[in-house]
Amino acid sequence: MSSQTQVRWDGATYSAANAHHRAFDATFLAPLGLRPGKRVVDVGCGTGELPERVARAVVPEGAPAGSGEVVGVEPDPSLYAVASARSRPGLRFVPARAQELASAVGDSGAFDAVLSVAALHWVDGADHPLVLSQMAAVLRPEGLLRLDFGGAGQIERPREVLDAVAREHGLAGAGWYFPEAADYGVLLAAAGFSLVDGWARLVRQRRPFADADALRLWLRSQVLPAYLAGVDDAAAAAFSAEAEERCVQELRREDGSYDQDYVRLDVLARRR
* Domain architecture of the chain: domains with CATH: 11-155+176-208+262-271 (3.40.50.150)
Secondary structure (H, E, C), the chain: CCCCCCCCCCHHHHHHCCHHHHCCHHHHHHHHCCCCCCEEEEECCCCCHHHHHHHHHHCCCCCCCCCCEEEEECCCHHHHHHHHCCCECCEEEECCCHHHHHHHHCCCCCEEEEEEECCHHHCCHHHHHHHHHHHHHHEEEEEEEEEEEECCCCCHHHHHHHHHHHHHCCCCCCCCCCCCHHHHHHHHHHCCEEEEEEEEEEEEEEECCCCHHHHHHHHHHHHHHHHCCCCCHHHHHHHHHHHHHHHHHHCCCCCCCCCEEEEEEEEEEEEC
- Is it the case that residue 159 has pLDDT exceeding 80? yes
Condensed to tens digits (0 to 9), the pLDDT of residues 99-133 reads 999 999 988 889 999 999 999 999 999 999 999 99
What per-residue confidence (pLDDT) applies to 68? 94
pTM of the shown model: 0.94
